[in-house]
Structure 1
Amino acid sequence: PFAHATLLVNYLGMFKRYLYLAEKHFLVALKNTQSEEVKGHLKRNVQSIDAEHREVERFEAEFWDIINAIQEAVATEDPLSAELLSSLEAISKDFVKKSRATVSSMFHLLGMDAARSTSEINSVFRNLYTASQHSLLNL
């Protein structure tokens, strides 16, 4: 369980950073455009990211409930149930699968900034994909 939890916390942090950088990109673009049509697209992208933030919060609550249950079992020297361990594995894989799909669907919307290998968002993108290849999170 420790490996799954550690990987997932790191992956979660990278995903949240990706969302922050993507939202920042869209908000800057929104300020710099005159086209109402483009503004509409950018606003929808920001709304989509806001929805992702809410989904991440829901996931985090569920994840920490599982971690707290594991911690309680360890503290009371109870054996860890297969159900609890399986829940941690399932939520880990589910989160990686969903967040990877989000990253993939959003990447092309970020334009040249995301494609530039020296940009932070490109670095976070590559780190997310590398981390998702770990055998414990392998989809």
Structure 2
Amino acid sequence: LAERLSLPIIGPHTGDQYWIDALPQQSAMFGFPPARQFTPTRWLQDGNTVAIGRETLHVRHCPGHTPGHVVFHAPQIDRAFVGDVLFAGSIGRTDFPGGNHQQLIDSITQRLWPMGDQTVFIPGHGPESTFGRERRSNPYVGNT
């Protein structure tokens, strides 16, 4: 699609290069048409911004689930797109290559909590919640 429409590929973070390298094997394993490796037009780093239409998202590197996991924060609307770092009542897996439980906890408490208790987060799957609610009740990172 990027080639056909001459679109840039923005991201991921360099820490997740191994996911790109594994695309051919992953697509074959799941019965998808052959996928190939690529080089992003731009790697994402902590502190970058990404524009989507008229909105600007702030990039926060939050390793732990994977080494290069990034979160997109939209402070103007109190929203964060966190992928599989944090869930309502749970946290992400850390059994992927390069995953690290303590690093995930640190990412949540040191990088997400400062975004504010009022911030609604949208996880990779499952219901949304707020950082404040999770700080109070999440059994993995509550009261931190």
**By the TM > 0.5 criterion, same fold?**
no
Larger helix percent: 1
Structure with the largest fraction of strand: 2
Report which of the two structures shows the higher radius of gyration computed on alpha carbons: 1
